[in-house]
Chain A
Amino acid sequence: MRYLPLSDSDRANMLAQVGVGTIDELFADIPESARLKELENLPRRKSEMEVERHLNKLASKNTSASSVPFFVGAGAYKHHVPSTVDHLIQRSEFLTSYTPYQPEITQGTLQALFEFQTQVAELTGMEVANASMYDGSTGTAEAVLMAHRVTRKKKAVLSGGLHPQYREVVEGITSQLPGGEVVSLPADPMGTEDILAQIDDETSCVVVQSPSFYGQLIDLKPIADKAHQHKALLIAVFTEVVSLGLIESPGAQGADIVVGEGQSLGNPLTFGGPYVGLFATRQKYVRNMPGRVCGETVDAEGKRGFVLTLSTREQHIRRDKATSNICTNSGLCCLAFSIHMTLLGGSGLSRLARINHANAIKLADALAAVDGVEVLNEAFFNEFTIKVPANANDVIEALAVNGVLGGLPVSRLEPGQSELENLIVVASTEVNTDEDRAAFVEALKEVLG
């Protein structure tokens, strides 16, 4: 087997050195009744060529985003990633290293994390950021748990503009906590809900996404003010990090914790993972923050260096008193994010954001011109919701048959609500051309016939 360096004669010599006659003597502690002779019903080894053939066949059944006019967003976005990114993250020294437990020989990873934390803090307008969470959705759940620790209260208020699956992740974990309460507001495509009325002295945190799941931009400032009056925290969520190149940072609007999905920079769609959760907060809450954190220090010769720090919050030290159970995070996805961010810089990100916004406006106008189609959002970034005069799910399926992936029917994630059945969340990024938009409009006209 090509991945195994021991030859049969090596094995025989080593068994003799170890002082056993057969390999099975080393497995003698396995209860006899449970010892396996053979793994049945599973295939035997395959060459590289055979594995490629098998997996390529499966891959070829999928329609890739680049092969069609593509407008699906809703928490994961099709962007162009510079070639440099994937080359660099495949360097052995990054790819095949582990969590930097030995800082003297992992300064590469640590410096990259320190730069990543700085970039995330600056983007979100916050003071500190951690070294990533698994993704935006699990980061949101961790943010709620952190708010509970900070405020010593257990009621979370979730906006109806929060991504439905993010909401489910938060509900899943908090519903299992003793005394945990979640108030989830109904779906709010146009950003008109009265979330302020839901905030009271029992409230631990308010979770608001902007741009919302439906694309609507939300003014966070009044929500932050009301939350702070009641000693609650505002958790600001985003799923499209490119938006921060153009819209006001959550930090500048008074958010206490900012959490979001970083996939858009550096990371391919990959059917939903691995992605990278961005997590930032105020300096005063840093000891309640979950996850790994990298900090600057000096070595024995006084040279600047970096280490994982504040580990007294963490599971391997505190065990059942830890702030989170997280161990592995999204190291390589952070690196991809950070490389892409480095290539862009702040002004490049803003330009990329303007291109996205301009493309989305063109698309919104073109779709609004189709008979019976209505664009629901007035203020949006690169994503918005349309109402079509038919079942949205049928429309999307029919569009797919016509070779256009035209967005997400809201009812796929929010089934059984008649007022949502005709809604489609549509995204447009820098990858979409005028031809893509024209194809979408033509196909939509035909489908709505």
Chain B
Amino acid sequence: MSMNTQGRPTAPGTADAPVHTTFTGNKALNMEEPLIFEIGRSDICGVDLDEPEEFTPRLGSHARQSGLDLPALSEPETMRHYVRMSRNNYAIDSGLYPLGSCTMKHNPRLNEKMARVPGFADVHPLQPVSTVPGAFEVIAELADWLMKLTGTSAVAMSPKAGAHGEQCGMMAIKKAIMEKGEDRSIVLVPESAHGTNPATAALLGFKVVSIPARDNGTVDPSAVIEKIKENEGKVAALMLTNPNTCGLFEPDIIAIADAIHEAGAYFYCDGANFNAIVGKAKPGDLGVDAMHINLHKTFSTPHGGGGPGSGPVVLSERLAPYAPLPFIRQKDDALEVVETETQLEPGEVPFGRMTAFHGQMGMFVRALSYMLSHGSDGLKQASEDAVLNANYVRVGLQDLMTLPYGENPCMHEVLFDDTFLKDTGVTTLDFAKAMIDEGYHPMTMYFPLVVHGAMLIEPTESESLASLDLFVATLRDLVMSAKRGETQRFEGAPYLAPRRRLDETQAARKPILRWTPPTPTDVEPKAAAE
């Protein structure tokens, strides 16, 4: 038996694991962390600041009278608070994150380093233009990449995320229609679309008309033509995701684009899934008039727990005049920044402005760093690997799980439905939660809506073969387990995560959206219950 220097046994099996809850509630490295408001104090500060010399304020009658009850933590306490919290997060850096349509790929740290160079991080959006030529060069260089990769002739750089980019593209379309003096109020959206598509169209006052999917999961041009005829002269645009959210490339996309153009409408493409086709096809060649690009998906800028994103919109020649302010104009060899309407030249008819300043510069630097690193050859390889990885997962699972549209190749994500769970008593949600115990972030669930109990898996190009093999083997084990009737593994899952399933109904019914100091009535019943 192996012993340590104190003579205590260290070999496994020498003591039974005690079944107990710990005094602290911690489980070794997995620590419970209270809220700032429960551990902070008002009489300490984590930043050393000297009171200014005495002065007479010039606040008029505006000085703060109401309290500002926010406690502080010292620097070491702050580090510990957030480090402990961080350990309750799943992340790309810790494991495979197969969230379909989210493209959770590796976030290179070179990008982070470059975004923090003072010449980018420490420059002000409104300092004299003459003092920031390098910033405009970055924007212009990234814009050039985006236009060349998509085969388009203009790009609006300022939108701050994908949905904001959609809004920008649709506002350009609306402006184009207004300029032509037309009245077109309808936007066609396939059933499989992201929720942001109909939300964006409705935000701008369009009426959404849904297009059903064919049995093979793609859009039938004749269904589009039918809706165009039903709404003669009223259709403003089609919003289509390609590759679509079923993980399929729309094979009739050119016919669909032609039909839309013939009707005098515009083709908006949701570019969330661009990672599948970079270097393989240019959306401009497919007839796309506007497409946002999620730099935080395809071009590796970090997702940051839900942002910040960045959603530049590429535009066809027909929509280019309507791109919002600000934009950069290439004049001979120089770059001109156009920020206000007084600077416009004939033919430039911006619909307005999406945001203050110039857009997500920090994300532009990261995305450009990624593109330069890959080069055109590497970007194409990345897309090929992303598609190969998804297909490898598909063939590894298609005999056990069910593909709603048959055993055909997919693009960069593979969609399963829940037919294979029929009569097992296990739902898509249970299945996903059981993956958590196995150390995986679940795939996208119950989306797209066109498939029952959808499970959308996007492994991305960042996974190695060994990683994919283990993932496939794990899912196979879970399916077999469900089929054997081992429902306990699923219905209470996750058992091993920092939290068990959370009560979302209670959260929505009686929303507690901020911390408030406990009152005596809050404390007592709890104490009684214990």
Q: Let me know if A379 and B62 touch, CB within 8 A.
A: yes
Shortest C-beta distance, B375 to chain A (Å), equals 3
Shortest C-beta distance, B250 to chain A (Å), equals 8
Q: Let me know if B68 and A245 touch, CB within 8 A.
A: yes
Q: Let me know if A105 and B62 touch, CB within 8 A.
A: no
Q: Which residue of A lies closest to B61 (CB)?
A: A219
In whole angstroms, what is the CA distance A41 to B411 when docked? 26
Q: Which one of B106, B203, B395, B502 contacts A3 once the chains associate, using CB atoms below 8 Å? A: B106
Tell me which residues from 95 to 153 in chain B have a Cβ below 8 Å from any Cβ of chain A: 97, 99, 102, 104, 106-108, 110, 112-128, 130-135, 137-138, 141, 145, 148-149
In whole angstroms, what is the CA distance A41 to B380 when docked? 14
Q: Let me know if A1 and B52 touch, CB within 8 A.
A: no
Q: Which residues of A are found within 8 Å of B49, using beta-carbon distances?
A: 348, 351-352, 355, 430
In whole angstroms, what is the CA distance A45 to B72 when docked? 47
Q: Which residues of B are found within 8 Å of A346, using beta-carbon distances?
A: 42, 67-72
Q: Let me know if B86 and A94 touch, CB within 8 A.
A: yes
Shortest C-beta distance, B259 to chain A (Å), equals 15
In whole angstroms, what is the CA distance A301 to B194 when docked? 34
Tell me which residues from 97 to 114 in chain A have a Cβ below 8 Å from any Cβ of chain B: 97-109, 111-114
Q: Let me know if A136 and B356 touch, CB within 8 A.
A: yes
Q: Which residues of B are found within 8 Å of A169, using beta-carbon distances?
A: 352-356
Q: Which residues of A are found within 8 Å of B199, using beta-carbon distances?
A: 315, 318-320, 322, 324-325
Q: Let me know if B70 and A349 touch, CB within 8 A.
A: yes
In whole angstroms, what is the CA distance A316 to B356 when docked? 27
Q: Let me know if B164 and A138 touch, CB within 8 A.
A: yes
Tell me which residues from 271 to 314 in chain A have a Cβ below 8 Å from any Cβ of chain B: 271-274, 276, 286, 292-301, 303, 305-307, 309-312, 314
CB pairs A–B below 8 angstroms (5 shown): A26-B409, A51-B369, A176-B205, A335-B305, A345-B44
Is the interface on chain B under 10, 10 to 19, 20 to 34, or 35 or more residues?
35 or more
Q: Let me know if A247 and B134 touch, CB within 8 A.
A: no
Q: Which residue of A lies closest to B279 (CB)?
A: A39
Q: Which residues of A are found within 8 Å of B86, using beta-carbon distances?
A: 88, 91, 93-94, 108
Q: Let me know if B83 and A117 touch, CB within 8 A.
A: no
Q: Which residue of A lies closest to B440 (CB)?
A: A105
Most chain B CB within 10 A, of A19, A62, A127, A316, is at A62
Q: Which residue of A lies closest to B99 (CB)?
A: A98
> Does B224 touch A at the CB level, under 8 Å?
no
Q: Which residue of A lies closest to B386 (CB)?
A: A4
Most chain A CB within 10 A, of B120, B122, B503, is at B122
> Does A419 touch B at the CB level, under 8 Å?
no
Tell me which residues from 343 to 376 in chain A have a Cβ below 8 Å from any Cβ of chain B: 343-352, 354-355, 357-359, 361-362, 364
In whole angstroms, what is the CA distance A28 to B281 when docked? 11
Q: Which residues of A are found within 8 Å of B376, using beta-carbon distances?
A: 38-40, 42-44
In whole angstroms, what is the CA distance A6 to B277 when docked? 18
Say yes or no: A405-B131 contact (C-beta < 8 A), given A93-B94, A296-B512.
Answer: yes
> Does B296 touch A at the CB level, under 8 Å?
yes
Shortest C-beta distance, B459 to chain A (Å), equals 11
> Does A115 touch B at the CB level, under 8 Å?
yes
Q: Let me know if A97 and B35 touch, CB within 8 A.
A: no
Q: Which residues of B are found within 8 Å of A127, using beta-carbon distances?
A: 514
Q: Which one of A299, A335, A359, A405 contacts B503 once the chains associate, using CB atoms below 8 Å? A: A299
Shortest C-beta distance, B326 to chain A (Å), equals 9
Q: Which residues of A are found within 8 Å of B433, using beta-carbon distances?
A: 104
Say yes or no: A115-B138 contact (C-beta < 8 A), given A51-B110, A325-B199, A339-B78.
Answer: no
Q: Which residues of B are found within 8 Å of A387, using beta-carbon distances?
A: none
Say yes or no: A397-B500 contact (C-beta < 8 A), given A35-B280, A61-B133, A296-B507.
Answer: no
In whole angstroms, what is the CA distance A109 to B85 when docked? 8
Q: Let me know if A62 and B131 touch, CB within 8 A.
A: yes
> Does B392 touch A at the CB level, under 8 Å?
yes
Q: Let me know if A6 and B465 touch, CB within 8 A.
A: yes
Q: Which residues of B are found within 8 Å of A181, using beta-carbon distances?
A: none
Q: Which residues of A are found within 8 Å of B379, using beta-carbon distances?
A: 39
Q: Which residue of B lies closest to A340 (CB)?
A: B47
Q: Let me know if B280 and A36 touch, CB within 8 A.
A: yes
- Over the window 373-394 of chain B, the binary record of Cβ atoms lying under 8 Å from chain A Cβ atoms (1 yes, 0 no) is 1111111111011011101101
Q: Let me know if B368 and A55 touch, CB within 8 A.
A: yes
In whole angstroms, what is the CA distance A153 to B69 when docked? 36
Q: Which of B306-314, B416-424, B478-486 contacts A (4 or more CB under 8 A)?
A: B306-314
Q: Let me know if B305 and A298 touch, CB within 8 A.
A: no
Say yes or no: A397-B130 contact (C-beta < 8 A), given A18-B391, A51-B110, A248-B62.
Answer: yes
In whole angstroms, what is the CA distance A348 to B40 when docked? 13
Shortest C-beta distance, A49 to chain B (Å), equals 10
Q: Which one of B47, B201, B277 contacts A352 once the chains associate, using CB atoms below 8 Å? A: B47
Q: Which residues of B are found within 8 Å of A52, using beta-carbon distances?
A: 110, 113-114
Q: Let me know if B126 and A74 touch, CB within 8 A.
A: yes
Say yes or no: A34-B62 contact (C-beta < 8 A), given A3-B374, A168-B325.
Answer: no
Tell me which residues from 253 to 268 in chain B have a Cβ below 8 Å from any Cβ of chain A: 253-254
**Known contacts A134-B355, A352-B47; can you find 9 more A-B pairs with CB under 8 A?**
A34-B254, A48-B373, A86-B116, A94-B304, A119-B70, A123-B70, A301-B500, A310-B511, A327-B161
> Does B401 touch A at the CB level, under 8 Å?
no
Q: Which of A195-203, A226-234, A407-415 contacts B (4 or more CB under 8 A)?
A: A407-415
In whole angstroms, what is the CA distance A27 to B383 when docked? 11
Q: Which residues of A are found within 8 Å of B396, using beta-carbon distances?
A: 17
Q: 4 closest pairs, A vs B, by CB?
A: A345-B72, A172-B352, A59-B119, A272-B357
Say yes or no: A66-B122 contact (C-beta < 8 A), given A52-B114, A104-B436, A128-B514.
Answer: yes
Q: Let me know if A315 and B196 touch, CB within 8 A.
A: yes
